[in-house]
């Protein structure tokens, strides 16, 4: 027999047992739909994370007061340490680090939440004081209007897009004046919309000390270091830790009272976590595929029993074992194919719905072409594998026994 004959006879078997076939196909639809939907959602999340990581400066290292293993990316066993409530980072720490090779820029910054008044309205905003000498070289933030801070700036600010457009009844424009703790501050730039920083205000650190309560000269909430290249980040983190241990007169590692973390390490951790979560959820969804495969095998065994006499007749008029085997395999492959098509469609709807619900956490790119192809191939493969044993048993039936079967 030719392949077209196998296909035609396999299709006839599918059409002549519609109810049983559709019940079997539903199992494949649910399995493939779950796997495709979850993997597609995972891909969309990874794309979004990667897009955000591409915008990050992976040469940035941050030094924070206090030490916990969770807040540090340095290798080694867990250690104790102080907390940020009783430890300060000062200008002496910056001076101690300035001689290290691999540092391109280093600066301290402070932050706090303060009431900000504009056009008679009051709102509490996050104020961040940065070094205007180097900030424009260390940040990845960009302005949609105006400019970033410059070295000679005093009592000026760069504000997030959310502060400019969504916080007050009247929008804040460049060169407008806001009031922070009674001090007038002129807006020189408005940042592009980016999500997490839209409600922040950046200003020179000298000005920030005068408007943030409890802020002190030469005392920082964090110290930020920009390495000359990504390749130097890991080694530079170790050098920074060693240098600060000496300059802060810390002998025992358990007494360490600062943390060193890198955006590069955090980015790698986020990527690994997202990939692991996608694989985990995909593995759970794949369990439903096993249920679908069992359903196909069950249907195929039933078909063999129902068509035993037909098999005997076909063999009596010359059909070979291979012909019987191929007819049943084509039938099970078609069950997998139909289930795969419907499953991929279901998965696309599920993925689109979840991506719409998750909003900015995903890229909203839908189901990729390779995932559609892989889903169909997987469904057909499961169909064929599930039908191998029943098809083999059908092909081995003896014509006389098959014709006598009741």
Q: What is the pTM of this model?
A: 0.64
Q: How does pLDDT run across 277-303, given as a tens digit for each residue? A: 777 877 777 777 777 777 777 777 777
On the question of pLDDT at 359 being above 70, the answer is no
Confidence at residue 321, expressed as pLDDT on a 0 to 100 scale: 82
**Residues 249-286 as b or e (16 or more Cβ within 10 Å = b):** ebeeeeebbbbbbbbbbbbeeeeeebeeebeebbeebb
On the question of pLDDT at 137 being above 80, the answer is yes
- 125 pairs with which residues across the strands? 114
Percent of the chain with pLDDT over 90: 26
Confidence at residue 84, expressed as pLDDT on a 0 to 100 scale: 45
Cβ-based neighbours of 50, under 8 Å, separated by 6 or more:
271
Q: How does pLDDT run across 32-51, given as a tens digit for each residue? A: 888 888 888 878 877 877 77
pLDDT confidence of 146, banded at 50, 70, 90? very high
Continuous segment of H or E residues that includes residue 290: helix 263-306
Q: How does pLDDT run across 39-98, given as a tens digit for each residue? A: 888 788 778 777 777 777 788 999 998 876 555 555 444 444 444 456 789 999 999 998
Locate the domains of the chain by residue range.
1-53+270-404, 88-256
154: phi then psi, degrees, rounded to nearest 5: -140, 140
């Amino acid at each position: 027999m030719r392949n077209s004959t196998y296909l035609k006879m396999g299709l006839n078997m599918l059409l002549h047992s519609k109810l049983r076939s559709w019940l079997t196909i539903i199992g494949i639809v649910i399995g493939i739909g779950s796997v495709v939907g979850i993997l597609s959602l995972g891909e969309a999340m990874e794309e979004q994370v990667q897009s955000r990581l591409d915008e990050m400066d992976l040469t940035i290292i941050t030094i924070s007061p206090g030490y916990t293993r969770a807040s540090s990316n340095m290798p080694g066993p867990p250690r104790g340490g102080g907390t940020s409530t009783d430890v300060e980072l000062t200008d002496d720490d910056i001076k101690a680090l300035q001689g290290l090779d691999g540092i391109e820029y280093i600066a301290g910054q402070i932050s706090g939440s303060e009431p900000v008044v504009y056009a008679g309205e009051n709102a509490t905003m996050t104020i961040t004081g940065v070094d205007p000498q180097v900030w424009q070289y260390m940040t990845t933030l960009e302005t949609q209007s105006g400019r970033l801070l410059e070295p000679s700036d005093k009592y000026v600010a760069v504000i997030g897009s959310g502060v400019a457009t969504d916080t007050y009844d009247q929008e804040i424009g460049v060169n407008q004046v806001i009031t922070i703790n009674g001090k007038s501050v002129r807006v020189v730039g408005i940042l592009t919309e980016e999500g997490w920083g839209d409600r922040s205000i950046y200003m020179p650190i000298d000005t920030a000390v005068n408007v943030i309560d409890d802020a002190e000269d030469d005392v920082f909430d964090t110290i930020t270091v920009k390495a000359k290249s990504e390749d130097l980040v890991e080694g530079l983190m170790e050098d920074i830790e060693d240098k600060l241990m000496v300059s802060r007169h810390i002998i025992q590692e358990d007494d360490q009272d600062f943390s060193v973390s890198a955006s590069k390490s955090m980015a790698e951790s986020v990527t690994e976590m997202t990939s692991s979560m996608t694989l985990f959820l995909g593995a759970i969804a794949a369990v439903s595929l096993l249920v679908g495969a069992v359903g196909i095998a069950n249907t195929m065994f039933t078909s063999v029993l129902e068509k035993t006499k037909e098999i005997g007749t076909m063999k009596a008029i010359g059909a070979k074992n291979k012909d019987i085997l191929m007819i049943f395999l084509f039938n099970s492959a078609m069950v997998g194919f139909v289930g795969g098509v419907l499953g991929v469609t279901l998965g696309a709807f599920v993925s689109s719905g979840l991506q719409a619900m998750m909003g900015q956490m995903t890229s909203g790119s839908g189901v990729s072409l390779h995932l559609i192809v892989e889903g169909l191939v997987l469904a057909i493969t499961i169909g064929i594998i599930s039908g191998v044993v029943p098809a083999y048993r059908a092909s081995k039936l003896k014509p006389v026994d098959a014709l006598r079967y009741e």
